[in-house]
Structure 1
Amino acid sequence: MADPGADAVADAERWFRTRGLSYFVPDVRTAVRDGLRPRRVVPSVVTVVVVSLVLAALVVWVIDEPSAAPAVIGSVVGAGALLYALTTLQARPIVSWAIGRTFGSLRLLVPMASRALPLLLVFVTFLFINAEAWQMTANLKPGILWTVVLLLTALAVLFLLVRLPEEVDRVDDAVDAAFVVRATRGTPLEQPARDLVDRGRDPSVHAEVAGYDRWNLILVLLVVQIGQVVLLAVTVFVFFLVFGALVMTTTVQNSWTQLPGGIDSFSFLPTVSYELLKVSLFLSAFSGLYFTVSAVTDDTYRSQFFAAVTEELERAVGMRAVYLALRAELDR
């Protein structure tokens, strides 16, 4: 006869894997710990660095543009880190869940944009209708512009990596019997959580999230928030393209950019220029960073756009507490 506790543990592990929380499962965590040993990490790091330098030198030689080197190196290093995470660090379930979560958020794009864009554009549009912004971006080489976009993206990620651990600490400190019952509602551990509480067991003793579990949870929360930011940044980019094509005549664009040869426009859409694309890309990346900070620190944004992160965090912490309590009972 099957043990209900063992079945619940197995169901929870499947749930963790499908929700991008695969490091919560012991055998996955062991494989990841082995993948982070120096004897495996160092050769991969050396390979990525060498490949990035070679490709950067090749691109610079082909297009005769030294400013492209930082962008190529940054892109290759990022791609190498992602590949290592997908293979050795068992991150495929995390990425699969992240992609599904991002596409699932498309239905929220219109309500999210209608709430965020008015406040955001009041601030950012003043930068768009500004000759200095057009001059700066028009004179940036493509490689430098992409490096700036990568830098703004890295700053947004760094900010979240600093703030999200604080959110994890706040939530796992609030875990009690009522919390786990509420957090596990609609999950495979809903009934086991109620049974534990009814028997007087306290899953909150397993509430503290540390080690690989903690970083897995932070990564998942990071993906949830970055998904919202990317959708908003794309919306801002499209808005500025349309807005600029409508109101920024070629005369205005030439006057603001002050390029010797004039702007580079499409023949069939004269107001849609290469310079408009550049300033729109820069301001959309800047808007993404601004929104990232505001969604966590500004009460106006936080209540609307950080709620999804908080919900995912509470559910994951509650599920983990009940899961560990059930495993502890099975190990007795």
Structure 2
Amino acid sequence: MPTSPPSPKPHSAKRDADRWFREQGLPTFVPLRRWFTDLPRRVAPLIAWVAVAAYLFQDGIEVVFDFALDDSSEEAAFVVVIALVLFTLSAGLAWAAYFLVRAVLRRLSMGIGTAVALLLIAACLAFTISYGYSVQPDATVGPVLRTILVLALCILVTGMGGGAMVSWASRLAVRNASAIGHMASIALPVILMLVVFSFFSAEVWQMASALSWGSIALLGLVVAVLAGIVVLRVSASEIDDDAHAPTAQQRTALLLGTPAEGRPLVPGAPGRLRAPQRINILLAMTVAQLVQALFFAGLLAALLIVIGGIAVPTGVVGIWLGPGNAAQPLAVQPLEFFGAKLPLTVNLLKAATLLSVIAALPFVFSAVSEARYRERFFDPIMVDMRRAILVREAVSARPVG
């Protein structure tokens, strides 16, 4: 008779489940007593990131930026470009160190991985302290205290699942970027048709030109709060709705590829979430939905900028704006990049951004209410959260007998 594969050890299964929950953006699903378990292997990648970033960003980058911003430099524009390239490379190297250390430690056994992680942490801390004294030779205990503070913050952030939350947010952004085609085919046509009429309105350009970028950012914050309230309300009702409870076959399908795969199903509806878990799952859904809205707003703004760059000449912008008045002067502002004028205006960027921010609100409303939007933009997020609830039930259930 065929035999089933041996079940994983309890401690290994719990570690896998804890890692899975953190990678789903749900650190509160991990019991509080296990927040700081296996800490050396989990905190070592973040410590390596801090050490590499501190060295790269405090050494050559500052010198290049200072030289680039020096008015006496004849090649300032070229040096600024070089500085931006170096900045990007430095950030890439820091993240490469993070992912490399994490990948190596995950492939080592528990004991060896912990020892290697401790040695790596000690080496990074020693390097950070010695580098601090090399930058400030007259310092007494400043570099040591700063290093201890950084270590404490890294431990706290890692224990609370901060690194996994960053990883989850990165995967979420990539997934939403890959869904731009769906946004363009489903959400954009209707909203773009309404927005374009406003885009060719003189009043919109006057209002956008009169607003500062800070005011537009504040408007975006208000829109994000309103959208978040709607998503929170809908998500809470979806979680509490027993009519959406999955069948036994659906549960089995949802648990495939999770740490709860192959575990016996818990009969009945899932148990009620504790307050921290409920808040965590609602915030995760809200963040996921707002990231989608951000991608949609960015896509819409890019389309409006292209349309405006082709169909709205600078002279027309001047006619629409008019002279303004003494209290609110209006003028066409050419877009400059390191002294070179581009064939775009700041007025165009402001008008496109303003309309895109406002249009993101009906996008969110449609995504959580209308069936064709929900299928693409809201239901996949809800499925991920229901899967997490089922995994929590299966992992925390005690074996019978």
Q: Calculate the TM-score normalised by the size of structure 2.
A: 0.60
Question: Hey, what does 1:301 align to over in structure 2?
Answer: 373
Q: Is the 8 A contact 1:156 1:289 kept in 2?
A: yes
Which residue is 2:188 aligned to?
A: 117
Which structure's CA Rg is the greater one?
2
In the TM superposition, residue 208 of structure 1 has moved relative to its aligned partner by 2.5
Q: 2:388 aligns with which of 287, 295, 316?
A: 316
The 5 A counterparts of 1:119-134 are 119-134=190-205
Any gaps of 5 or more consecutive residues in structure 2?
A: 1-5, 37-153, 325-329
- Which one of 345, 354, 373 corresponds to residue 273 of structure 1? 345
Contact 1:264 1:274 in 2 (8 A): yes
Match of 1:11 among 2, 16, 20: 16
Specify the alignment match of 1:212 in structure 2.
276
Contact 1:245 1:271 in 2 (8 A): yes
| Residue 148 (structure 1) aligns with | 219
Amino acid paired to 1:313:
M
Q: CA deviation at 1:93?
A: 2.1
* Structure 1 unmatched ranges of 5 or more: 32-82
Q: Shift of residue 152 of structure 1?
A: 1.5
- Counterpart residue number, 2:73: none
Closer, same or farther in 2 for the Cα pair 1:205/1:118, shift >3 Å? Answer: closer
Residue of structure 2 in register with 1:238 after alignment: 302
Q: What CA distance in whole angstroms lies between the structure 2 residues aligned with 1:28 and 1:135? A: 57
Letter in 2 for 1:165: A
Judge conservation of contact 2:332–2:345 (CA < 8 Å) in 1.
yes
Mean Cα displacement is larger for which, 237-246 or 134-143? 134-143
Tell me which moved more, 154-163 or 22-31.
22-31
2:28 is the counterpart of 1:23: yes
> Quick check: 1:207–1:320 contact (8 Å CA) kept in 2?
no
Equivalent pair of 1:265/1:272 in contact (CA under 8 Å) = yes
Cα RMSD, aligned residues only: 2.9
Q: Secondary structure at the match of 2:332?
A: coil
Residue-by-residue CA offset, 1:4-25 (whole Å, 9 max, x unaligned): 4724333222211222121101
Aligned to 1:161: 232
For residues 301 and 365 of structure 2, the distance between their equivalents in structure 1, rounded to whole angstroms, comes to 19
TM-score, normalized by length of structure 1?
0.71
Identity between Structure 1 and Structure 2 (%): 29
Q: Which residue of 2 aligns with 1:177?
A: 248
* More displaced 10-residue stretch of structure 1: 105-114 or 249-258: 105-114
Q: Using the alignment, how far apart are the partners of 1:106 and 1:250 within structure 2?
A: 32
The aligned residue for residue 313 of structure 2 is 249
Residues 132 and 317 of structure 1, relative CA distance in 2, 3 Å threshold: same
Q: Which has the higher contact order (CA 8 A, sep 6+)?
A: 1
1:77 maps to none
Q: How many residues align?
A: 269
Question: Residue type of the partner of 1:8?
Answer: A
Shift of the alpha carbon at 1:272?
1.5
1:138 corresponds in structure 2 to 209
In 1, Cα distance between equivalents of 2:371 and 2:365: 11
Distance, in Å, in 1 between the alignment partners of 2:157 and 2:304 is 35
8 Å CA contact 2:182, 2:376 repeated in 1: no
Q: What does residue 60 of structure 1 align with?
A: none
What is the identity, as a one-letter code, of the residue corresponding to 1:314?
A: R
Task: Measure, in 1, the Cα distance between the counterparts of 2:14 and 2:247.
Answer: 20
Q: Point out the more displaced range, 8-17 or 278-287.
A: 8-17
- Amino acid in structure 1 at the alignment position of 2:207: M
Relative to its length, the structure with more helix (as a share) is 1
Deviation at 1:319, TM superposition (A): 1.1
Aligned partners of 1:171 and 1:314 also within 8 Å: no
- Secondary structure of 2:344's match? strand
Secondary structure in 2 matching 1:256: helix
Quick one: distance in 2 between partners of 1:270 and 1:9?
57
Q: By how many angstroms is 1:174 displaced?
A: 1.1
Per-residue CA distance 1:24-73 (angstroms, 9 max, x = gap) = 01126889xxxxxxxxxxxxxxxxxxxxxxxxxxxxxxxxxxxxxxxxxx
Match of 2:285 in 1: 221
Name the aligned partner's letter for residue 153 of structure 1: A
CA 141–108 in structure 1, closer or farther in 2 if over 3 Å, else same: closer
- Alignment pair present for 1:291 and 2:360: no
In the alignment, is the contact (CA less than 8 A) between 1:153 and 1:285 conserved in 2? no
Q: Would the aligned equivalents of 2:21 and 2:27 in 1 still touch at CA under 8 Å? A: yes
Match of 1:329 in 2: 399
Residue identity opposite 2:30 in structure 1: V
Report the counterpart of residue 169 of structure 2 in structure 1.
98
